[in-house]
Amino acid sequence: MKLSKLILSAVAAALLSAAAGEPGAKAAAKPEATTLENLQTAYGGESNAKARYEAFAAKAEAEGYLGVASLFRAAALSESVHAARHAKAIETMGAVPKADVKAPDVKSTKENLEAALKGENYERLKMYPAFLKKAMADKVQLAVYSFKGALASEKMHARFYAMALKNLNNWKARHRFIVCQNCGYTTDDLKLKVCPVCSKPRAQFTEVW
């Protein structure tokens, strides 16, 4: 087992050791933070994002943007998956996951979308690439896969928020999303058969409507 892991590590490093770095990685806020600290930060962020998106969904529902409400509900579910994965990684490292969940600041649906997009952009361009790089350097595998899943999901969330902001009136009808219960990957491609991030089957996706 050890030899095979060594070989796999060597092959991985030889193939593309630099590929994990995203453009925003250099701008990481806390280069000195440990992977455990990064996991706690991410856990807190995801827990807050879940609460915030649930509140945003209720607001969108009330304003008649039912498609946006579907999107926020799907994103909230996705963030809860990320929080759970981060928590598992924290516990595996012998610590207890901690999150300070604040009351969400709910405004109009348009403003909520802008705030959500800003948050996702920070996470996908700066926070997660830096966390991922650090976790890979520290060889904390569970953190690596947890951050990878979150990074891929936040990209999708940001894409959908940007689409909604571009033409909000098109998002008054309900929209169907599916969310991977293993890694949180979110998409509206209902024909998807396998999660492109974690390779779990479609049966492990939850449909959000």
Partner 1 sequence: MKRIILAVFPALALTALCLWYYDNSTAPAGSFFVDEAGLLMAFGRLAGIVGALGVMGQLLLVSRAGWLEPLFGLDRLTRLHHAAGILIPLALLVHPPLVVWSHALQDGNRFMAQYLAVLKWDDIPPAAAGELLIITAVLLSLPFARRRLGYETWHTVHLASYLGLAMVIGHQLHYGGDLNAEQAWFAWTWYALLAFTAANLLWYRLLRQLLLYRRHGFRVDRTFMESPDVMSIYVKGTGLDGFMAEPGQFALLRFWAPGLKLEAHPFSFSRAPDGEELRFSVKRSGDFTARLHAGLKPGTPVIIDGPYGVFTAARLSSGKALLVAGGIGITPLRAILERLSASGTDAVLVFSNRSRKDMVFAGELAELEKKGGLRTVHVLSEDRDWAGEKGRVDAAMLRRLVPDLAERDAFLCGPPPMMAALDAGLRSLGIAGERIHYERFSF
Q: Does 192 engage in binding with partner 1 (CB under 8 A)?
A: yes
Residue 190 near partner 1 by CB under 8 A: no
How far is it, in rounded angstroms, from Cα 2 to Cα 103? 47
Q: Is residue 9 close enough to count as binding partner 1 by CB under 8 A?
A: yes
Nearer to partner 1, 88 or 110 (CB): 88
Alpha helices in 35-188 (DSSP H): 35-63, 66-92, 109-122, 128-138, 141-166
- Phi, psi (deg, nearest 5) at residue 206: -110, 135
Longest dimension (CA), the chain: 59
Sheet (strand 177-180) strand order? 186-187, 177-180, 205-208
Number of chain residues interacting with partner 1 (CB under 8 A): 40
Q: What is the DSSP-derived secondary structure letter of residue 104? A: P
Q: Which of 68, 83, 84, 144 binds partner 1 (CB under 8 A)?
A: 144
**Does residue 84 touch partner 1 according to CB under 8 A?**
no
Find the shortest distance in angstroms from Cβ 8 to partner 1.
4
Cβ 188 to partner 1, closest distance in Å? 13
Q: Residue 17 interacts with partner 1 (CB under 8 A)?
A: yes
**Smallest distance, partner 1 to C-beta of residue 41, A:** 19
∠ at Cα 121 (42, 21), nearest 5°? 70
- Judge contact between 130 and 24, C-beta under 8 A: yes
Closer residue to partner 1 (CB): 91 or 111: 91
Residue 114 exposure: Cα atoms within 13 Å on the Cβ side: 5
Binding site for partner 1 (CB under 8 A): 5, 8-9, 11-12, 15-17, 19-20, 88-89, 92, 136, 141-142, 144-145, 148-149, 151-152, 155-156, 182-183, 185, 189, 191-194, 196-203
